[in-house]
Structures are given as structure tokens and as C-alpha cells.
Structure 1
Amino acid sequence: MPLIALGLNHLTAPVTLREQVAFDPEATAAALHELQQEPGVEEAMILSTCNRTELYVGVAAGAEQLPLAWLSRHHRLTPGKLDEFLYRHDEQDAARHLFRVATGLDSMVLGEPQILGQVKDAYQLAREAHTLKAPLDRLLQHTFAVAKRVRTETRIGAHTVSVAFTAVRLAEQVFADLREACVLLIGAGDTIELAARHLADKQARRLIVANRTLETAQELAGRYGGYAVALADLPQHLAEADIVISSTAARQPVVTRAMVEQALAARRRKPMFMVDIAVPRDIEPAVAELPDVYLYGIDDLQQVIDDNRRSRAAAAREADAIIDLQVDRYMAWRRALTLRNPALDLRQHAEAYRDEVLDKARAMLARGKSPEEALGFLAHTLTNKLLHHPSARLREAALSGDLDLLHAAGRLYGLDEEEPGPRDA
């Protein structure tokens, strides 16, 4: 069963296309069931984040093109539209790619830790949807062990810089002193919480957290000294913000051009700095056309991130060495699945001999032979049948001087563990 990793990410596709192939978390389970029902698809996991959408699929031989066709069809895209943006990895390259993704080596921010949690979430969704079988499940278990080892044995996670931190750092370049800035955070997930933590460390003058669920916003705002508003009340509070950082799972923009125009008028054209780190985007792209607005998308953070990437290059090389070793071990386990187990063959042969000789012994009893004679025949004949082929091979090995086979036979039958004693010549 070939293993395939198929997807696109921040390096291969623009955000406009990544939006179109992103999977809504609430709809992922249904998508997994739909994918697994494709003829030839044996198991599947979907990983969808702001920077990537990837399918990890085990397929029957000859069905390698099905995941691509399904992805385009599921998102109602024109056939061929994704071709130049997609990457595909097979077998050990697929395993290596997943290991690199989970350890942050394939992330926009080299070594960022959030991706491991996202891979674990994707794994949990696939498990709950019952779309995993042993090979892919084992790969994910191996992935988590590799990620832990890389974090422990290298400095890839030292001075971790997340996308949230990068957004805050970019805001500092516009507002030299965040202690004078009011910051509006839209969303309440991990990325926004990280941003809130960084902003609290920078002593931002004021934090506002807007979220669809007010109670969740209140919990987050309370931890960092801010105050919460419902997402529906966003238009009334947007004018208060000097800085807006948004990351929700909404399928449509939550901040429109009209809302920002109204806020700018209330601010008397005082500039606004906005960072949209959601995919699909939270802030309508047309907002960037407005004067006095500085809008940055997730792809615009790349320059800030590249500085960090260079400082972690040595740690990344160490991590890749660990990953290469673990890829070899996982692929050895996969190959073992395809090997015929000689123990099963041996047992089947033995049981066939047993049934054959047992039938003959019962026939002897039916013809009036004594039980003692029938048992003697059964024991003698069964022993000869079971030992005939091994004995013949061992005689050949002794004559040819094949010591490896003779020693292996001793280990196989436990003869090397017996006490030495007199032997026949």
C-alpha cells in the first residue's frame, strides 16, 4: 500500500490559492470519510493550517492519482488548477516530509512549535473518523517521537519565534513604543494567545480581544489584562485600535473595507497597522487600498522570518540527521509488513501433517488396530514428517561445510541451549 503526501504550502502557493483548499475544522471529519470512500484509498489524514493543506494517504497500487483528483473535485476547482503549486512525496520521502513538518523544519518560522500541536489535532480527527490503519497510525506515532527527540537533542526550539511573535515584532517597527498603542486581537486560538502574551510582555497600553464566543474572549483577555468584546460588536470598537492582529477560522472576512473606512473616519485619519495571519483571510484584501492603513498578510511576514531562519540553520542540519535515521527505521517496519512470515507457513505445514496422520491413525482404530499401535504409528510418522525436510537440509549443510546454517538451526531449535552430552557420530 503506497504512502503519499500531497499538498501545497506557503512556499509553493499564494495565500489566495491556500484559502481555496483550506479545510474548515468542523468539516474535516466529513471530508476524511469522503476521501476514504474513493476507490483505492485505504487510509487518510488531512492537515490544514494557515500555511499548508496536506493529504497523507495510503492507497492501493495504481491509485496514486486519486488524492489529487479528489482534492480538486472536493473544492470545486478547475482540473489542473493546482498542478503547478502542488508537491507530492512517496514512501520514505512522504515519511521524511511529515517528520520535517512536525518538527517545524518545513514551517515559515523555522522550528516553530505550534505545528506539532496541529499535526496532533489532525491525527486525533483522523482517529475519531476511523480513517487510519496500522501503517499511517504507526507513522504518526513515530512522528511524535521524532519531534520530541529533535526538540530535546537540538537547539531548533531555542529562542522560539512564532508567527505571532513575528507579527508583534513587525508592529514594533511601526510603533517604536507599544506602551502607547491600543491593540485589537481578533480570535482566541493559540496564535492570538501567543500574540497576547508577547504584547503583555511589551506592556502594550491596551488590549482588546474580540471573538465569536464572548466567554472565550473574556477568559483570554482576563489572563493578560485586556477586555473582551463580541465579534458582532467589532465595528463599534475598531476605531480604538492602533494595531489589529487577526487569526480566526472564519470562512469569510470578519473585517471589511467599509468597517475600516468608518473606523478611519472616527480616528480622523490616524494610521492603523493591521496584520492578518489567518487562512482564509480575516481582513478583506481591499482594505490595503485605503490610505492610512498598513495591512500585512501572512506571506508578508517572510522577510522578518528569514532573519530567524538563518540563525537556526545549524540546528536544522542536526535535526535532519535525526530525521533521516528515523525514516530508515520506519521504512524498515513498513517493509516487514510485506514480508511473508515463515512462522505462519511452518505452522500451516505442521497442522496439515498432523491432520493427515491423525486421519490415518483413526482409520487404523476403525480397522480394529489397538490404540497402542495407532498411537505409536501417529507419533513415529508425525515426527518423521516434521523432521524430514530440516534433517535433509542439515545433512547437506554438514557435507558442504555450511556452518552458518548449522549454527542457525541450533539457535532455531534451542539446541545451543542444551547441556552438552554424548552425540551420535
Structure 2
Amino acid sequence: MPVSIFGINHKTAPVEIREKVAFSPENIVQSLSSLKQCAELDEVAIISTCNRMEVVFRCTQIEGNDELFAVKMKQMQNWLVKEHEIKVNNIHEYIYCHTGEEAIQHIMGVACGLDSMVLGEPQILGQVKDAYGYANLAGTMGLYLNRLFQQTFSLAKQVRTDTQIGESAVSVAYAAVTLAKRIFDDFSAVKALFIGAGETIELAARHLSRQGVRQMSVANRTVERAQKLADEFGATAYGLSALSELVAEADIIISSTASPVPIIGKGLMEKAIKQRKHRPVFMVDLAVPRDIEPEVSELSDIYLYTVDDMQDVIKENLKVREEAALEAKDIIALHGQKYVNWLQSLSAVSLLKDFRAQFEQIKNDEMSRSLGKLNQKNNISSSDVEKVFTEFASRLAQKFLHSPSKLIRQAGENSESQVLEVLAQAFDLKVQNKD
């Protein structure tokens, strides 16, 4: 089987190892060319993300030879250490290898998010597409890998369409947005307030922006950092001192700061609710310790959720994704077999090409022989022509029938009925069974 994988990922190595083997977009094309040459590979692509580095390759030298495969893995390991100047003696402990159908299904599963740290996460498909693009730029993408990647992209699209692998929230930020949908039917007129400016708040802002929220405010201890995040989403930045005015305007409040004490109390929200004339407020406290006093949940028209509530949503939705993953694996198995069938068809095409070439040569040889005989005669009679062409047809038939006849006799002598049936089918004949 011509496809293999050599890699390191979040399941086999800690981050301090993974970061050592990562390839930057600026250097990956050059690295691909270097690897192809150093390891004598026919085709190669590299998938490099924060959670994995995988070399997908084809090398005809190692097909069907386990000893050569092991030598090639060692060769690639040495190249990786040299390329990244890695000073780790036990790098081999973190490396895994797949080949054949196992490798095919692995790369397909990776593209569908089945091997990701967060099950079903969609970003990995784009990263696999990047790997395909870099390999094309480097000139290391050939017939076999091109077909594999193209079929993988088609498969991933089908999995996203036909299963719920990416439908349910499995991050606290997206879980918060999922819960907000239960309160608000239309996000276009909703005002959102984000308290804090860290990664979780950024993710929440990104999700809400994609849902159609356009009116956003960001409040943070340092206004400069709030401004940096606000600029990305067309929001307005404030310091925490503005919270008393901001909470009265906000329909959605999501908070995640490092404050050791709550920054929003029950009294502040009581005042805000009166100013809002009891229009509902959706509040999510993703901070630990909490940013919002628990007593706020006692107020009417306020829907307050904590990070623990998000975890409950995530656990529930993970079950949905795990069920979808089982469906995805069935789809992957079908596409994997489809690729294997294509590989096998290449062997048939090659065999047919050789078959035709062999008998084309026989025909040409006999034709030259016959024409040579005719050219030797000065006066050619019709009987001469008939004799030459009779010999031509006879010799052509004998050479054509020699190998099949020999095989049929051997199969008959050895009682190999299956071989006889295949030959009969090939030549459109019937096998005569003797009782």
C-alpha cells in the first residue's frame, strides 16, 4: 500500500515536544523539498498545527518490506531532529507510524476532527487543506497523495453535512452562545457587553459576531487591552469603572476576568433591571473565582449561568458529537475503501497496458516477418499472398494462445477450478464440468 504516516500529536507528546517539531508557513515549503530528497520519498505532505505534526508520504521502496519501512522511519526521524535542531534523545518515544489502510483512514479521521483535542473541531480541515497547498507549492504532491487529499476533503464535507459532529458546543465560549439562543431569537438588535479581554472573551465575541451581534462593548481593567479586542469586532472599549452604566444597556453580559472578588453585585443589577424596565438580561460568568455574585440569579428577568453550567452543556453536547463520530467512522470506512479500490484499479490499468503492449509487439513482429517474405519475391501471385497471410494468422494465434493454454492445462491438472472459472470469464468461455 503506497501511503504512510509518520507523526507526533497531542496524544503522544506534551506541548514542549510538539512545539519543537512544528513547521512555520515560511519554512515548510523548503522543508518539504528537503525531506523528499533526504528520505528519497516519491510524494510527501506535512500537516503542522499546535497539536500535531504529521508527514504523509509515499515511498515505493518500502512497499511490502517491513525492514525497509523501519529503516525509512529512522531516516525520517533523523531528518526531523536535524531540521529542527532538536536536543531530545528520546524523540522516538513520541513518534507513531501508520501505513496502508490504517494510514488512509487516519488522515481522513484527522480532517473530520475525530483525532483532535476537541472532538469535531472544524479548524483542522483548513489546516489539512493548507498542507495540501504547501505540498503543491513545493512540488512534492503527486498522483497518489493528490487523490487521497481530494477524496479526504470531499469526505470531510459529507461528514459535516450528514452528521452532527460540529453542531454542538464543546467550548465554554460557544456553549454560552448556544444558551443565549434560547433567550434571543434575533441577535441583530442585541447589545453585548464583554468584561475582560482574554482568550475566552475573544472566542465568545467571535461566536456572537458570527451569530449577527453588531453592538458590542468591551470593559477591562486596562483600557488599552480592551481597545485591541474591540478594534477586531468594531466594538467600543471601556475601563471597569464604566460598568454601572454599561450593564443597564447590555442584553448579553459575558464576564471572564482574573479578579479575586466579584465585580458585579446584586445591588448593581437591581438598579440596572429597573432602568431596563425589566427587559431580560442573559449573563454568563466564566471566571473562577466568580465575577458575578451568585445572588444575582435571584433577580427576576436575569438569566445567570456559571462556568459549571457551561460544563453541563458541554458534557451533553459531547455525547451528541461522540454519536456523530461513530457515524463519521462508517462514512470514513466507505471512503477509505473507495480509495483502496482506486489504488487497485491502477494496478489493473497497468496490467492491461502491459497486456496490450505485449500483444502489440507480437503483432508487429509477425507483420514485419510477413512483409519481409513478400518483399523478397519479385513477382507476387495471389497464392503467395494467401500463403504468407495464412502463416501470419497461424503464428499470431499460436503466440497469443501459448500462455493462456499453458495456464489452462496446469489449472486442469491441479484441479484449480477457481482459476479455470476466471480464465473462462476472461475469454468468454464455459467450463465443462465432468461428473
TM-score (norm 2): 0.62
Report the CA distance between 1:155 and its aligned residue.
1.7
Deviations 1:340-362 (A, max 9, x none): 51442233233233224323422
User: Is contact 2:215-2:235 (8 Å) kept?
Assistant: no
Deviations 1:8-52 (A, max 9, x none): 222222222221111111111111111111142121111111221
Give the aligned partner of residue 197 of structure 1.
Answer: 209
Gaps in structure 1 of 5+ consecutive residues: 170-176, 209-216, 229-236, 243-263, 273-291, 295-300, 412-425
The 5-angstrom pairing of residues 244-255 of structure 1 reads none
Q: Distance in 2 between matches of 1:167 and 1:24?
A: 33
Deviations 1:130-179 (A, max 9, x none): 1011111111111112112212222212235469747999xxxxxxx972
DSSP-derived class of the 1:25 partner: coil
Percentage of identical aligned residues:
32
Say which one has the larger Rg: 2
Q: Are 1:364 and 2:364 counterparts?
A: no
Give the aligned partner of residue 19 of structure 1.
Answer: 19
The 5-angstrom pairing of residues 260-279 of structure 1 reads none
Q: Distance in 1 between matches of 2:118 and 2:43?
A: 30
The 5-angstrom pairing of residues 114-133 of structure 1 reads 114-133=123-142
The 5-angstrom pairing of residues 229-240 of structure 1 reads none
Q: Distance in 1 between matches of 2:239 and 2:372?
A: 92
Change (3 A) 1:140 1:68: same
Look up the equivalent residue of 2:25 and give its one-letter code: P
Change (3 A) 1:342 1:18: same
Report the CA distance between 1:387 and its aligned residue.
2.7
Give the aligned partner of residue 307 of structure 2.
Answer: none
User: Is contact 1:55-1:67 (8 Å) kept?
Assistant: no
Q: Distance in 1 between matches of 2:84 and 2:312?
A: 31
Which of 163, 180, 197 pairs up with 1:183? 197
DSSP-derived class of the 2:32 partner: helix
How many residues are aligned here?
337
User: Is contact 2:58-2:145 (8 Å) kept?
Assistant: yes
DSSP-derived class of the 1:26 partner: coil
User: Is contact 2:101-2:340 (8 Å) kept?
Assistant: yes
Report the CA distance between 1:3 and its aligned residue.
2.3
Q: Are 1:410 and 2:428 counterparts?
A: yes
DSSP-derived class of the 1:40 partner: coil
Report the CA distance between 1:311 and its aligned residue.
3.3
The 5-angstrom pairing of residues 206-225 of structure 1 reads 206=218, 221=231, 224-225=233-234
User: Is contact 1:109-1:163 (8 Å) kept?
Assistant: no
Q: Distance in 2 between matches of 1:158 and 1:184?
A: 25
DSSP-derived class of the 2:372 partner: helix
Report the CA distance between 1:116 and its aligned residue.
0.9
User: Is contact 2:362-2:396 (8 Å) kept?
Assistant: no
DSSP-derived class of the 1:50 partner: coil
Q: Are 1:381 and 2:395 counterparts?
A: no
Gaps in structure 2 of 5+ consecutive residues: 63-67, 179-190, 221-227, 244-256, 264-288, 292-309, 430-435
TM-score (norm 1): 0.64
Q: Distance in 1 between matches of 2:239 and 2:11?
A: 32
Q: Distance in 2 between matches of 1:78 and 1:134?
A: 36
**What RMSD, in angstroms, separates the aligned Cα atoms of the two structures?**
4.7
User: Is contact 1:185-1:207 (8 Å) kept?
Assistant: no
Report the CA distance between 1:316 and its aligned residue.
0.8
Q: Distance in 2 between matches of 1:207 and 1:26?
A: 36
Which of 157, 162, 166 pairs up with 1:157? 166
Q: Distance in 1 between matches of 2:127 and 2:90?
A: 27
